[in-house]
Structure 1
Amino acid sequence: MTKYLLKGGTIATSVQGSDEPRVFKADVLVEGDTISRIEENISPEAGVEVIDCQDKWITPGFVDTHRHVFMTVLRGTQCDWLLTEYLVKMAWSLQGTVTPEEVAIGTLAGLLEALHNGVTTILDHFHAAHSPEHAEAAFKATIESGARVIWAPARQSPPTRLLPFPEWANDAQAVQWQRAKIKEWGSLAGGKLRPDGRVTLGLAYEIFNWEEGTVPRHQEFLAYARANNVQTITAHVVKSPSILGWRDAGILGPDVVLSHCNALADRPELDDEMWKALKDSGAAIGATPLDELGMAHGNPVAFDALKRGVKCGLGVDCLSINSGDIFTQMRVSLQWARGHDHERIHLNKEKAPFKNKYTCADAFRLGTLAGAEALNLAHLIGSVEVGKRADLLVFDANSVNLGGVEDPIAGVVFHASSEDIEMVFVDGEIVKKDRKLVRDWAPVVKELKQRADDVRKRWPAELLEQRWKQWYDANGAPTI
C-alpha cells in the first residue's frame, strides 16, 4: 500500500452541514486511496513518503457536474456561436460524423486536461455514442485517463437528415445496441467500470417529446437503466419547463442531474413548482455559467439553487468552447450572482446592502463539496476529511499568482490557475507532480492535433456556416 504524508500545509475545505469553510494547519496522511489521519505534527513511519507542504494549500479536488469530454478534439470551433447555431452546426451536423478514433483521443486529452486543472471528478455527458465502436473507444480512454468519472453515454443517435427538418431514421437500431451495452456495462461489478470504482456507469437521456404516448417509453427505459446499475442519469434542460415532465412521469429522483435549468432563473416564488419538484425529489442541477451566458441559454441559477436548498454543482460543458478548469466557472458564477443582485437593488431603488450576499466560500463550495453532493458522492469526495478518498490538490502559496494571499479560499476562487497546482491526487494516486502531468502529454497532443485537423478538413467553417444559414432561412432559430 502506498502511503504519503503531506506535512506542514494549510488545509482549506468546505464541510458538510456548514456554510463556512474550514482553514487550518495540519498534516494529512494518505494510506492507499484514503485519507487516514489529519493532525498536527504526525511523525512519519517507515514506508511513508513525506511531501513537504510548507507554504502550500491542500484542498479537495474540483468536481465537474456537466462536461462533454470528447469535444476536446473540437477545441476552438464554437467560441462565438449561439446555442441555436450550435444545434445546427454541431449537434445536427459535425458531431454525427466524428470517428471512434477522434472520440478516443478527445476523451483522453479532455480528462488529462481536467486533471491538469485540478478537476478530479467529472460527470461526462457523452453524446457521441453513435455506435458500439464509438462507445467502446470513449470507455477505454476514460478508464485509461486515471480520472474519477461518472461515464454517461447518451441514449440518442445522430440525425440522418438536416433539412427541411432533422430526422433520426436509425434511432430504433441505436436503442437496441445501447440497451445491450448498458446491460453489459452494468454487469461489471454493479456498474463499477474500473475495479477500484473510480469510473462508474451513468446515462445521458434527453427527453424532447412529452406527448402522452411517449411517456411510458421513457419510464420503461429509465427503469431498465436503473435495474442495470446505472447510478446517475443526466439530461439537458435549458429554457423549457420539462422539469415538471420528469416529475409527472415519476422519473425524477436523487440520481438525476439536470444540466443548466435556466428556466428556473428569476422565479422569486419560494413555492415555485419547478424548484419544489427538484428539492422534493433530491434531483440536482449541473450549472455551467460561462457558456450559459455566452450562448443565450438564459441566466445561471447556481446561487439560487444554494439559497433554496437544491443540490447544485458547477460544470465546464463543451470543451470545444470552454477551458477545462473550474476556476473560471466559480468566478463567473459568483460575479454573475452578485451583479444580478446589485442590478435588482438598483432597479427597485432598494437600500444598498451592508455586504455582498454571496461570498468566495459559496463559490468554493460549489466547485468542490456541492458538486460531490449533486453527484451523490459526498460520502467519498468533495472535502478534506478522514475516511474520504484522497482526491487532493496541493497549491503553491508562494507562486506568482498566490504570493501574499492570506485566505486560501479567496486565493483559489479569485487568483489561482492550473499553474499554481503543484500536485493532484486521485484515489491516492499522484497524477500531477511538479506542476506537470505524470502521464506523458507529448504523444497525446500529437494525435489530438492530427485528429482535430482531420475534423476541420471535413467540416470547414464555410460549410458549417452554409448549413446554419440554410436552416435559419428555412425555419428560423430552433426552439429549446
Structure 2
Amino acid sequence: MKTIIRGGQVVSMDPAVGDLPAGDVLIEDGVIVDVSPHVDAPDAEVIDASDRIVMPGFVDNHRHTWQTAFRGIGSDWTFPEWAVAMHGTVKPRYAPEDVRIGTLVGRLEALSSGVTTMLDWFHCTLSPAHADAAIEGLRASAGRSVFCYGAGWGTTDPVDAEIRRVRAALADDDARVGLAWGLRGVEDTSVETVAAELAVAEELGLRTSLHIASDGSRPIAELAEHDLLRDTTTYVHVTGVGDDELRMIAEAGGSVSISPDVELKMGFGLPMTGRMAAAGLKPTLSVDDVPSVAGDLFSAMRTALAVQRGVDGTQSSRSVLEAVTIDAAASMGLDQRIGSLTPGKRADIVLLRADDITMAPVTDPVASVVSSAHPGIVDTVLVDGIVVKKDGELVGVDVRALIAQLTASRDRVAAASGVPLDGTWQPAATA
C-alpha cells in the first residue's frame, strides 16, 4: 500500500533531509520511502497537505495515564499534596477497570494531540490484574506505546517474578506496545536492590526509567559510585542535583526527561533544560500527569522555551522541537525507527493546520509549532502509515462513550475515597 502526503510545509527533524517549504512524503507499507520537493507516485493514495505543516509525530517519554479520570483536580496542588491525593487516597480504590479506561482515554488524548509515541509510566501497581488492564488500555489505542512498569512502586518487595511475567506478554520489541521498567531509585530502596533490578533489566533487554529529585542528597553520585548509571536509563525531573551529577549522566550516555509545567507548579523548581544542555545532555520533555497540567506537548514546549529564554536566552525553538521528536525517540532507544521524517523510518506523522486563525500566516513553521500550536490544529495523525486521526477526529473511536465510562470511573473512585468533586478538595501535605 502506498500513500503520499502531498504539498505540505515539511519539517523533517532530519538535517540530511532538511525542511521543505512545499514537499511530498511517500509512504509504502508503513515506511517512509521518500521526502522530496516532488515525488511521482501515480498509484499512491493522496493526502492533501495544502496549508498543513507535515512533521514527525511527537514523542512523550513520561506520562501516568492511569490518573486521567481526575483531570484538572490538582491544578493548585504541591507535589506532597498530589502524592497524598493520588497515591494515598484514590489509588487504593482503583479497580483494574478504572486503570483500563483511564489508560485508554489518556493514550487517545495524547494521540489526538499528535503524540504518536508515548511511554506510560505505570505506578498504580496494586496487583498483576491492574498491570494487565493498563496494557489492555494501551493496546486498545492505535498509538505506539511503551508500558513502563513501575513494579512494586512504594514498596521494597521483590518484583523479579512480576517483571518476567509481563516481559513474557510483551516479548516483541518491534510491536506497537513495548515494555520498559520503571525502577525504584536509591531514594526509595537500597542501592543493592537497584543493582539487582538493573541486572535483571539487562538480562531481559529492557530500558529503564527512574524518577530523581534531590533536596540535598546526591542520588546520581551514589548510583555512579556503585557503577549503576546506564545509557539505557532515562532520569525523570532530576531537580536539585548538582551540575557534576548531570555530567555523570551525560558521560554514562543516559537521558533526561523534564516535565516543565508540573515541575513549576508543584514546587520542584525551574525546569533544568539549560543546565542539562550545558552538561552535555539533550533534554527531552514530557507531560507527567493530567490532574495537574494539560495533556499535550505543545504546552510543555511553550513553558520550556519561555522559562529558559527568561533565565539566560539560550533556548531555541528548534531545540525544543527536537526535545519532543528525535531526542525523545533516542531516549527510548527508538530513534532508528521514529522521531524524524527519514526514509526507512516508520511513518509516524502529524499534519498541523497552518491555515487556522491561531497559526496563520506561518512564516517559520518550527517557531509557529513551538510558540502558537495547540491540540485543536492537529488535523491528521498517522501511525505506521495508518491514518488514525482525520479531519480533526480520531478514526473509529466513540469519544462520547469513552468519556461516559471515564466519568463513571471517576465518580466511583471518588465516592469510595470520600473525595468531593466540587473543587473544594485540598489534601493534607503529609500522609
Instruction: Provide the TM-score with structure 1 as the length reference.
Output: 0.83
The 3 A distance-change label for structure 1 pair 189 and 104 is closer
Aligned to 1:204: 182
Aligned to 1:165: none
**For each residue in 1:170-202, what CA deviation from the matched residue of structure 2 results, as whole angstroms up to 9, or x when unmatched?**
x53xx3xx423322332357453xxx5222110
Could you tell me which of 168, 182, 185 is aligned with 2:166? 185
Q: Indicate yes or no: 2:195 matched with 1:219.
A: yes
Correspondence list, 1:66-105, <5 A? 66-105=62-101
Q: Indicate yes or no: 2:61 matched with 1:65.
A: yes
Aligned to 2:210: 235
Aligned to 2:46: 50
Aligned to 2:33: 36
Q: Structure 2: any 5+ residue segments left out of the alignment?
A: none
- What letter matches 1:34 in structure 2? V
Aligned residues between the structures: 426
Correspondence list, 1:344-423, <5 A? 356-423=313-380
Could you tell me which of 456, 465, 468 is aligned with 2:428? 468
Percentage identity across aligned positions? 30
- What letter matches 2:178 in structure 1? T
RMSD: 2.3
Secondary structure of the residue aligned to 2:248 is helix
Per-residue deviation, 1:458? 2.2
Distance 2:427 2:39 in 1: 63
Asked whether the equivalents of residues 234 and 331 of structure 2 are also in contact (C-alpha less than 8 Å), the reply is yes
**For each residue in 1:215-250, what CA deviation from the matched residue of structure 2 results, as whole angstroms up to 9, or x when unmatched?**
2222112211221232x2111112242112222232
Aligned to 1:449: 407
Could you tell me which of 410, 416, 420 is aligned with 1:458? 416
Per-residue deviation, 1:456? 1.9
State which structure, 1 or 2, has the greater radius of gyration over its C-alpha atoms: 1
Asked whether the equivalents of residues 64 and 371 of structure 1 are also in contact (C-alpha less than 8 Å), the reply is yes
Aligned to 2:300: 329
- What letter matches 2:228 in structure 1? I
Correspondence list, 1:421-432, <5 A? 421-432=378-389
- What letter matches 2:28 in structure 1? E
Secondary structure of the residue aligned to 2:240 is helix
Distance 1:424 1:55 in 2: 15
- What letter matches 2:201 in structure 1? A
The 3 A distance-change label for structure 1 pair 5 and 338 is same
Aligned to 2:4: 5
Secondary structure of the residue aligned to 2:283 is strand
Distance 1:78 1:282 in 2: 35
Aligned to 2:263: 292
The 3 A distance-change label for structure 1 pair 44 and 467 is closer
Instruction: Provide the TM-score with structure 2 as the length reference.
Output: 0.92
Secondary structure of the residue aligned to 2:296 is coil
Asked whether the equivalents of residues 247 and 280 of structure 2 are also in contact (C-alpha less than 8 Å), the reply is no
Aligned to 1:319: 290
Per-residue deviation, 1:98? 1.2
Distance 1:208 1:89 in 2: 24
Asked whether the equivalents of residues 182 and 228 of structure 1 are also in contact (C-alpha less than 8 Å), the reply is no
